[in-house]
Amino acid sequence: MNVPVLETGRLVLRGYRLEDFESHAAIWADPRTRRYFEGEYSEEDIWLRFLRNFGQWALFGYGYWAVQDKASGRHVGAVGFFQARRPCDIPYRDQPETGWVIAPDFHGRGLAREAVAAAMAWGDLNIEAPQSWCMINPDNAVSRKVAEAAGYRQALSTEYKGRPVLTFLRSRGGLRPRGGRDA
């Protein structure tokens, strides 16, 4: 499947390229990126995460986009939908999960909100699932605000890899989510 290209005022969301691996690895190697994630990632972990970005499109018709800054041309993050088969006790685990990451040097510019909004607009038109969800560390206030700006509402609290996480739901079209509860 060809990955659709989405453009916003400041960003291009496009399919990953092999040459994006170096910047992808730098983003995930940065302790500022990982502060809300468990442990460190080896080069192998980062490579497998990178490869996942290719395979999801072929299997599900959706996946992650590489986020490119128009002004600099740099690969600065990722946004999209995926299936991770997370061992979480939530009823919507098999619905598309949404995620995003922006390189720490580009934080504070609203790029995550811009990228997520573009991804949600595409997903509303192209993903048949009635809803999507995301998982956020309870201490990550910035990601919670990004999720809420995109129409996600807090649903259930659960554990992932022995740590508490919050899950958020968004119905297709940004309407009130089904299942879980509103915060």
Mean predicted lDDT score pLDDT of the chain = 91
How confident is the model over 112-161, as pLDDT tens digits? 999 999 999 999 999 999 999 999 999 999 999 999 999 999 999 998 88
The answer on pLDDT for 99 being more than 70 is yes
Burial group, residue 126, by CB count within 10 angstroms (0-12, 13-18, 19+): exposed
Tens-digit pLDDT profile for residues 16-46 = 999 999 999 999 988 888 888 776 788 998 8
Q: What's the CA gap between 88 and 4, in Å, rounded?
A: 30
pLDDT in tens, 159-181: 888 889 999 999 998 754 444 44
For each of the domains in the chain, give its residue range(s) and CATH number, in order of start. 6-174 (3.40.630.30)
Provide the pLDDT for residue 81: 97
